[in-house]
Amino acid sequence: MKTRRNITSTLAVLFGLALVAVSMPVHAQDDAKTEMAPLRIKLPKPMFIGTPKNIKTPNLERQTGRPRGRFMAPADAAIISIGKPVSGSDEEPIIGDMELITDADKEGSEGSFVEFGPGLQWVQVDLEETRELYAIVMWHYHSQARAYYDVVVKGASDADFTTDVVVLFNNDHDNSAELGVGKDKDYIEVSEGKLIDTKRAKVRYLRFYSSGSTSTDMNHYIEVEVWGKPLEG
């Protein structure tokens, strides 16, 4: 009787393990086989040195003064945004042309950024096909320390952002942009840009919002760098 009970118990355990193996998410199994490596992000020349002082917002992240740590992604991840079409809420920027936002120039000097007027503005990047994204690095303006307000980044399958919409970043803590309350922190612009973990989102279009900064009501965009790869299969 004891032997039969032991056999039954053993079979139950084995059956449970089999169920766990079958129900394991595909991406988790793939991760175990994927070679990972740090993203090789080429940074622009710093325009100011030291930890910025006297910049305050109700939602500002703590400044460490240390460089950003490595971000790990599949070894075959690449920049997929260079030269991609860009549109925006203002098709005639005050300074610069839309093409500057995906031209791989991340410098903070004149001629490298686009300036839009005050209020909530956005730029949109068309990756031209749905891709799997690992990270986005964005630069608004880094020749002077400042924090931009209502920074929201969304992805979608269509240009009108009605299908498969995903919020990738949102630091609008009071919903002043009416895009939803965000839980991310305000941050000070520096030459290393802001890195967003996109958690393998699968999108074609990306939209980047802002609404002025601690220095000016104007909105600026230097570069949007998207790391990912084509969908498999």
Helix or strand run (H / E) with residue 72: strand 72-74
Residue 43 and residue 88 in one domain: yes
pLDDT digits (tens, 9 = 90+) for 192-214: 999 999 999 999 999 999 999 99
**What is the domain count for the chain?**
2
pLDDT category, 232, cuts 50, 70, 90?
A: confident
Closest CA to 45 of 146, 222, 192: 192
Same-domain check for residues 163 and 70 = yes
Range of the domain at 209: 34-230
Whether pTM > 0.95 for this model: the answer is no
DSSP per-residue letters across 103-171: SS----STTS-EEE-SSSEEEEEEEEEEEEEEEEEEES--SS--BBSS-EEEEESSTTS-SS-EEEEE-
pLDDT value at 30 more than 80 = no
Looking at the structure, tell me whether residues 69 and 148 fall in a common domain: yes
Give the pLDDT mean for 130-144: 97
Q: Are residues 14 and 96 in the same domain?
A: no
Q: Is 14 exposed, middle or buried (0-12, 13-18, 19+ CB in 10 A)?
A: exposed
| Same domain membership, residue 26 and residue 100 | no
For residue 73, pLDDT over 60 is answered with yes
User: How far, in Å, CA of 46 to CA of 21, rounded?
Assistant: 49
Task: Assess whether 5 and 116 both reside in one domain.
Answer: no
Are 88 and 100 contained in the same domain? yes
- Average pLDDT on 144-170 reads 97
In this structure, are 166 and 187 located in the same domain? yes
Q: Are residues 54 and 6 in the same domain?
A: no
Domain shared by 151 and 206, yes or no: yes
Q: Tell whether 143 and 220 lie within a shared domain.
A: yes
Q: Do 41 and 26 have their domain in common?
A: no
Residue 41 sits in a domain whose CATH number is 2.60.120.260
